Amino acid sequence: MHDADGIITITDANTTIAYCRYDCSGEIEYLFVSSPFRRQGYAGRILELVEERLGTGLRFNPPISPLGRHVVDAYSRRCTSADKSEKEVTLRLVVRDERAAGCRT
């Protein structure tokens, strides 16, 4: 595991297994798990590492892919079942106003 400011990478000797880019407020900008390693808990583990590092709940920036939606839903279920009196966890999708970003619809 490699941990730099805003980036956590899980690797083995030959390849990148998982990669997460985040900011200090807990917004996940990008989460990637290499296809041979999917459905083995790497996404959940990397999100736990980010939570531990920041000490706050996480939010996910759109767009969220169909596979990413499964990760977000699993994270949401885990947070809902956690003891909220110990740590308040909020999950919200950050919605960006396309017009504010200069995009035309």
Q: Which two tokens stand for residue 104?
A: 């035309």
Predicted local distance difference test score (pLDDT) of residue 98: 37
In a domain, 7, yes or no: yes
| 100, part of any domain | no
Q: Show the low-confidence residues of the chain (pLDDT under 50).
A: 83-105
Residue 97 lies in a domain: no
pLDDT at 102: 43
Cα separation, 70 vs 74, in Å, equals 6
Residue 27: inside a domain: yes
Residue 87: predicted pLDDT: 41
Residue 39 lies in a domain: yes
* Cβ(9)–Cβ(18) below 8 Å: yes
- Asked whether residue 11 is domain-assigned, the answer is yes
Q: What is the CATH number of the domain that holds 36?
A: 3.40.630.30
Tell me: the pLDDT tens digits for 71-86? Answer: 888 888 887 766 443 4
Q: Which residues form the domain of 30? A: 2-81
pLDDT (0 to 100) of residue 88 = 43
3-state SS class at 57: coil
* Domain count across the chain: 1
